[in-house]
Amino acid sequence: MIESPLKEKNVSTKQDPNFPVFNAMESRNHEQVVICSDPETGLRAIIAIHNTTLGPALGGTRMWMYQTEEAALKDVLRLSRGMTYKAAISGLNLGGGKAVIIGDPHTDKNEALFRAFGRFVDGLGGRYITAEDVGMEVQDMEWIYSETKYVTGIPETLGGSGNPSPVTAYGVYMGVKACAKKAYGNDSLAGKRIALQGAGHVASYFAKHAAKEGAKLFITDIYSEKANSLANEIGAEVVSPDEIYGLDVDIFTPCALGGVINDDTMDQFKCDIIAGGANNVLDIEDRHGQMLLDKGIIYAPDYVINAGGIINISSELEGYNREQAMNRTQKIYDTTLNILKYSEDHEIPSHKASNILAEERIASVARLKSKYSSKSHFSGRLGEMYMTDRR
């Protein structure tokens, strides 16, 4: 059996309180963490590279008003690890990375800040490729692109794919339908009651797909005006953020921030399915994944069904083709069903089933690293780096 490079190792400093950052990295097998500071522009950012076995680390930059540096570090480490598994389970030749910028996305944005961040990304020489995430817009990515080619999600006028949210939402929609197929014997969402947490880009596109099919949606968001606007557009009902967990619905779809499946919310769920676009929704992965299995709730691993975003932006590295990206994203339906079957066959939570399948792919490719392969340079496009410059 091939040992996965993601398996935890015994490291002497792991329990040493003098090395909290290294302990946090080693607990999840991270390769690199970069702290970025530029006082002149106000930039405070962290870039985390989790694993590059399959290729360069690709993952979005999130801008959020973290209350502490520890909270920002915890988030970027969890998110970057998720990107490794997301790329692997989606069949992409990419590793996992993520970045966070500490700041208010509504008031702290400026061109100089993002260009400073772009220079830090460029300094990594392609080990990390950034993209759009929570709190970021296409204009922000264009400013980053002014300083580095290692960025995706840039405007279509510059040869990019633009906002990846529509494709991410389509993948979530495919994943939800796969769960419905498993739970009800058919994948129709007509008449299904869906509790949608979040009214941002991904949530909005998902809501339109589900509403068009005849689903009844209940929507919440910490920004009530966003929830009201989306509800009015699709004929949904708005509920309070605290009310969303206990609704008597068929499907709970978290599309905001992570950690929402936790000890406080677990007993409130009255749904058959939990499947959404948010990352890291299991607060304590093994504990809460097992609890969902024990309750008989079908759970679609978040990094599986929200992989449409990385599938979309990875297409930029080969020369963007929207139809090809959508076709690849549609395969999330079959991937989800395969994971749910593996989970059932082995009587393990679905997140463990997904992790095992992803780790098997990474381990098999890691074995090939011992084979020499010369590097061919033939195209001059960014995809050349993606396809041939891996080590």
Domain locations in the chain?
20-85+93-155, 165-360
Task: Give the pair of three-digit tokens for residue 361.
Answer: 């792919």
Annotated active-site residue 181? The verdict is: no
Cα–Cα distance, 104 to 307 (Å, whole number)? 26
Task: Return the number of other C-beta atoms located less than 10 Å from residue 75's C-beta.
Answer: 22
- Tell the CATH superfamily of the 165-360 domain: NAD(P)-binding Rossmann-like Domain (3.40.50.720)
Q: Which of 86, 98, 109, 182 is catalytic?
A: 98
Nearest alpha carbon to residue 349 among 304, 299, 280: 299
CA angle (294, 272, 243) in 5-degree steps: 100
Q: Do domains 20-85+93-155 and 165-360 have the same CATH topology?
A: yes
CA angle (188, 189, 190) in 5-degree steps: 95
Cβ partners under 8 Å of residue 45, min gap 6: 35, 36, 37, 61, 99, 100, 101, 102, 117, 120
Q: Are strands 128-129 and 216-220 parallel, antiparallel or unpaired?
A: unpaired
- Tell the CATH superfamily of the 20-85+93-155 domain: Leucine Dehydrogenase, chain A, domain 1 (3.40.50.10860)
**pLDDT tens-digit profile, the chain (391 residues):** 445 666 555 555 456 778 888 888 988 899 999 999 999 999 999 999 999 999 999 999 999 999 999 999 999 999 999 999 999 999 999 999 999 999 999 999 999 999 999 999 999 999 999 998 889 988 999 999 999 999 998 887 887 887 888 999 999 999 999 999 999 999 999 999 999 999 999 999 999 999 999 999 999 999 999 999 999 999 999 999 999 999 999 999 999 988 999 999 999 999 999 999 998 899 999 999 999 999 999 999 999 999 999 999 888 887 888 899 999 999 999 999 999 999 999 999 999 999 999 999 999 998 877 666 555 444 444 544 444 443 3
Task: Return the number of other C-beta atoms located less than 10 Å from residue 302's C-beta.
Answer: 28
Task: Give the pair of three-digit tokens for residue 287.
Answer: 């504990």
